Structure 1
Amino acid sequence: MRAVVIESAGGRVGVEERPVPAAPPGGVVVRVLATGLCRSDWHAWAGHDTDVTFPHVPGHELAGEVAEVGDGVGGWAVGDRVTAPFVSGCGRCAWCRRGEAQVCPDQQQPGFTYPGSFAEYVVIHAAALNLVRVPVGVSMPAAASLGCRFATAYRGLVARAGLQEGEWLAVVGAGGVGLSAVMIGRALGARTVVVDRHQEALDAALAHGARHAVLATPDLTPSDLAERLHELTDGGAHVAVDAVGDEATAAASILALRRRGRHVQVGLLPPVDGHPRIPMDRVIGWELDLLGSHGMAAADYPELMALVAAGRVRPQDLVERTIGLAEAAVVLPTFDSARLGGITIIDPTR
């Protein structure tokens, strides 16, 4: 099979021929028909994730068809349309038994702990726990987009922050996760304001339901941005999301909250230059909640998938471009600085 391969941290990326993987006991092999290019994949290329061993095949947002079923797998057959969370729980631990596979201590992640979906085929372990059936009316790009961006945003806003109708939602960063949060916020009846450094991304956010957009110019500090957000949200957001993963964006998100507000950290904050400084004085004085959101277990997908099938959430509308594996190898190292207003989907069959 053809696969995108990263030779070393921050190193060359190319397309190579690799053996098609075999289905492990309890798992399946999926023929990849769509896979998303995400900022987390750039972090893997840059060497920020300690779980990655090089050479490495990235990719963790995927959808496709079951190509092979391993021993001990029931309920799934070759040809089934499927997607999966980017976290594959072990299926044995107490967390998995409680339906919280996204924090499984023995989790595996395609594109991080083992070869991922920037390839024609990928393995999904513990299929009974981690596979999600894709309805016929949901496209492969839409299903792939759920695996990280939409699932993480949905669980962060609903299960973690408890976003309510009529509340103000501040989203810092209008990339894939940020735009997903905007679309989900609209579906939940929230009022959303978005911050980004690129006007194209802000235009996309406004088109998909944001009420206000704030351009983060280089001269604006996190405090400056927060002051503007407080003006637009009548005293601060009830819920704020850092969808970038940077010390400044996390600070802006926290400072944008009103008293007793809820901050959701979705963007990765790898300690590249030491652990980030957070305005904890504000957290304490205003009794803010700091919440992490690490994807969503397959058991929690039906509610989100129902919103997609009903057209209330339309991830396909965020797909800005579809590229093949060769172009993905070129784009990946520069993805952190890309000026995009939507999601990039890779079609390995191209």
Structure 2
Amino acid sequence: MKAANYIDPGQIEMRGDATRPVPAAGEVLVAVEACGICGSDLHMYRNDSYRDRLARKTPEGYEVPGHEFAGRIAELGEGVTGWEVGERVVGVTGLGGGMADYVTVPVNPYQLVRVPEGVSFVEAATTEPMADGLQMVRKAAIQRQENVVVFGVGIIGLGVIQAIRAQGIEAGRIVAIDVQQARLEKALEIGATDVVNARDGDVFAAVAAICGTEEGYRGISANVPVIFDCAGYIAHMSGPPPLETALRLVSLTGGRIICFGGFEGAMTIDMGPIIQKEPVIMGSNGYAPEELVQALDLMRTGKVDRRTLISHRFPLAEISDAFEMQCQPQAVKVVLDIRDQVAA
């Protein structure tokens, strides 16, 4: 079968001689139609971060990334009931494998879910990151008219904005922060009220001008009770990590910072505001099973448009070009058409 092979940072290729996997008991084999390139895949591609968690080895030794994908069930493993060959499904794997003609997926509500009619495979391939956004918004418990900041508006941060809007949450200002103008423009298109390009100057001053400031014995803050850090720490980027800026921005009382973005190694950060402001800092890793279903239902009903976030599509044979494009400033979400074109 055809499969991606991650070799080293900056090196990925397609192989045409990989062994087709066989589903174990409790698994199904999925014939993949579309697979997204995730931000975590880019961390690996840049500097080998998370390699042991993101690439599944074939018997030939090929390392196959891809953990967010959609396709059809091609085979049932022993003991699998309630599923049929040919069903359209979203698969999520903890150890890659989705950038290939076929991948095995355990049958459980965290990793396998049916795709409803009216949702294409290319949309469905973005289900997992949409569910991630739904969980982050659930954890944040945004109250009426609370201002929100989203650091990093790739597919995850944009999904956070879509989740807020689709659920009718009456937030105050929703400020998107990024260094790529194309992503900021997309954030405005899907529901952000304001954008800040971090390359343009002091982020604190820009956000404070939008949301106002607070001052008291705890210090000075912007009026931002809720912050989503979907950027994490990218080692080659200059300036303080987004989490440090988030701690400066977050409200003097009752602040919540939800952290999702990956970290490319250790970093130095000023932690003083944690003591001064007593914010709650929550990690978010994944989603509840019902949020996978909810994400697909939001697509089915048209409450979110995931197609607008897919900026580029490549066949698997051009996987090196696809990864290079995902690294470019004009790219929002790159999806691989595993079988050359994505069927409905």
Alignment partner, residue 90 of structure 1: none
Tell me how far apart the structure 1 counterparts of residues 144 and 88 of structure 2 sit (CA, whole Å).
33
Alignment partner, residue 146 of structure 1: 127
Alignment partner, residue 236 of structure 2: none
Structure 1: tracts of 5 or more residues without a match: 87-108
The 1:216–1:11 alpha-carbon spacing in structure 2 relative to 1, beyond 3 Å, is closer
Alignment partner, residue 68 of structure 1: 75
Deviation, structure 1 residue 173: 1.3
Tell me how far apart the structure 1 counterparts of residues 226 and 281 of structure 2 sit (CA, whole Å).
10
Structure 2: tracts of 5 or more residues without a match: 56-60, 214-222, 234-239
Alignment partner, residue 147 of structure 2: 168
Deviation, structure 1 residue 183: 1.6
**Structure 1 SS opposite 2:159:** helix
Alignment partner, residue 35 of structure 1: 35
CA contact (8 A) 1:3 1:118 kept: yes
Tell me how far apart the structure 2 counterparts of residues 164 and 121 of structure 1 sit (CA, whole Å).
44
Tell me how far apart the structure 2 counterparts of residues 216 and 129 of structure 1 sit (CA, whole Å).
35
Deviation, structure 1 residue 129: 5.3
**Structure 1 SS opposite 2:286:** coil
Deviation, structure 1 residue 164: 3.3
Question: What amino acid maps onto 1:3 in structure 2?
Answer: A
The 1:189–1:341 alpha-carbon spacing in structure 2 relative to 1, beyond 3 Å, is farther
Tell me how far apart the structure 2 counterparts of residues 262 and 85 of structure 1 sit (CA, whole Å).
28
**Structure 1 SS opposite 2:335:** strand
The 1:253–1:328 alpha-carbon spacing in structure 2 relative to 1, beyond 3 Å, is farther
The 1:128–1:180 alpha-carbon spacing in structure 2 relative to 1, beyond 3 Å, is closer
Q: 2:249 aligns with which of 248, 256, 273?
A: 256
Q: Is the counterpart of residue 340 in structure 1 residue 330 in structure 2?
A: yes
The 1:298–1:3 alpha-carbon spacing in structure 2 relative to 1, beyond 3 Å, is same
Question: What amino acid maps onto 2:148 in structure 1?
Answer: L
Aligned length: 313
CA contact (8 A) 2:326 2:333 kept: no
Q: Is the counterpart of residue 234 in structure 1 residue 212 in structure 2?
A: yes
**Structure 1 SS opposite 2:126:** helix
The 1:12–1:198 alpha-carbon spacing in structure 2 relative to 1, beyond 3 Å, is closer
TM-superposition CA deviations, 1:7-26 (whole Å, max 9, x none): 2x315311102111111110
Tell me how far apart the structure 2 counterparts of residues 299 and 164 of structure 1 sit (CA, whole Å).
22
**Structure 2 SS opposite 1:258:** coil
CA contact (8 A) 1:21 1:121 kept: yes
TM-superposition CA deviations, 1:29-58 (whole Å, max 9, x none): 111111111221122333111525674111
TM-superposition CA deviations, 1:235-287 (whole Å, max 9, x none): 3222111212216222223322212211111110132xxx2233321122111
Q: Is the counterpart of residue 48 in structure 1 residue 27 in structure 2?
A: no
Question: What amino acid maps onto 1:178 in structure 2?
Answer: G
The 1:152–1:40 alpha-carbon spacing in structure 2 relative to 1, beyond 3 Å, is same
Tell me how far apart the structure 1 counterparts of residues 36 and 143 of structure 2 sit (CA, whole Å).
29
CA contact (8 A) 2:42 2:323 kept: yes
4+ aligned runs moved over 6 Å, structure 1: none
Deviation, structure 1 residue 170: 0.5
Tell me how far apart the structure 2 counterparts of residues 311 and 125 of structure 1 sit (CA, whole Å).
29
Q: Is the counterpart of residue 213 in structure 1 residue 195 in structure 2?
A: yes
Deviation, structure 1 residue 308: 2.3
Deviation, structure 1 residue 225: 0.7
The TM-score with structure 1 as length reference comes to 0.83
> Which of 1 and 2 has greater Rg?
2
